Structure 1
Amino acid sequence: MRLIDTHCHLDFDELTRDRAGVLARAKQAGVARMITICTEIEKFPRIAAIAESADNIFCSVGTHPNHAQDEREFLAQEIADLAQHPKCVAIGEAGLDYHYNRAEKDLAHRVLRAHIEAARLANLPLVIHSRDSDADMAEILEQEYAKSPFKALLHCFSSSRELAERALALGLFISFSGVVTFKSAAELRETAALIPLDRMLIETDAPFLAPVPHRGKTNEPAYVADTLRVLAEVKGIAPEALADITTANALKIFDKMPALAA
């Protein structure tokens, strides 16, 4: 069974303290690839260096909505230029976060649209963060897609069924994290049951949101296998089958990554 953790943060202190152990446990759990996600463009050199350190680590470049006010507004072309790094396979994570509301909405919307344009310019998928922002997120995605298509996924999905349906109509992928394993996430599991298998991805969002049975611990890429098992039960298929499907999906959308060796 080979898995791809499509979203983790290997630069965060909780994981850097024991990176060798984190990577060893990921390998033991069947995690063949990891994508370490950028949250501040100004820190991209550090992210890229982590990706360069191992053949099975890739990265993204982008500004998380909760950091939009912490760094200058990068032009779409600047972001796309950085994404030319050989290990960079995505733009983001970018999006909207109305839970914390750290960035003013006008700024957050501009930064998101700049990242959408960067995804077009670089021909790379956009990794989207959306929290408590369903209506505005769906509207912006539909407006931008009407201008010109782009590849994208909603990461760590915990939003409404309506947002999932509107995103799927645009061709987006939906990625599930350990949240889907939580006892309180029955409604999310109902939504997951409706997601077509060919649009489903898995992730950890490590070091956050450790899945059951690891809740309360630091999350790490190895735990993506626990999320897989719950999603397989929700979809009514064997974990091995879902592993093959989600890995194929990850290689399809993150198509800058080379194919896995036989």
Structure 2
Amino acid sequence: MRQIYLLILLATIALSSCTGPKSNECEIVLGDTIRTASGLQYYYEKMGKGRKVEAGSEMATYLSLKVGDDVVWTSADQPDSLFTYIAGYTRLIKGFTEMSMLLREGDEVIAILPDSLAYGAKGAGDIIPPHATLVYDKFIVVRVDEPKGIMADTLLKAIEIGGEKAVMEKYKEITTSADSNKFHRGQDHLYRLWDKLSKANQHKKAAEVAACFADATNDNKLWYKMVLSLENLGEFKEAKENLEVLIGKEPTNKEFTDKLVEMNAKPSLK
């Protein structure tokens, strides 16, 4: 395995580097360092011939991540531990997303992410220190699927156009029709829909959507998101009542019980 100082050295050799993304205008040679405008650097150890990654493609990868000389996370030596995500959609650090969108099935690269494309000045817990350069000394693209629609985005458009009724009709269509295989689906997309509405300060719609889908899927996490929306709307009494019902269902859920303690401390509830 190549050492970090060799990676940095390769990245600085101008004669063997190519600036810009992988394209027909830049002839790629194995081992040549490619540098993008953002500061991402990478080079190919193997070039695949499979499907090109597009936004909405599900990717399955083997990865090994190093900070300095230490491997801080790896799935590369665990056959059943593929890291799977949706390109251009799953929330990942900027450099990882950029790298993903440049690849195709079968590619094997080494990628160097400056801190500006990684975790920056904050770092990430006890694993990634502040201002750390990340080196993926293994980034192996095992599978790239045909791109699909994103259920959360489709549902968001539906609720903006037709409200609660429209979003439930669209959800039924996506999950039960013959076209259902054209979408990435799952509970995480319902959570993401709630996130999008909440970030847009559409807390009333967020509460309605969470309640509808919680009732349809019997998902306590969605009921909890409804509680948070009610809290954001200032409807503290109703939020607390619903939270107490949730705690009755999951009495050991620390997130629920901590939130109840926080709510009981609010002057409006004393």
TM-score in same-fold range (> 0.5): no
TM-score (norm 2): 0.29
Higher-Rg member (1/2): 2
TM-score (norm 1): 0.29
User: Could you say which structure has the greater relative contact order, defined with CA pairs below 8 angstroms and 6 or more residues apart?
Assistant: 1
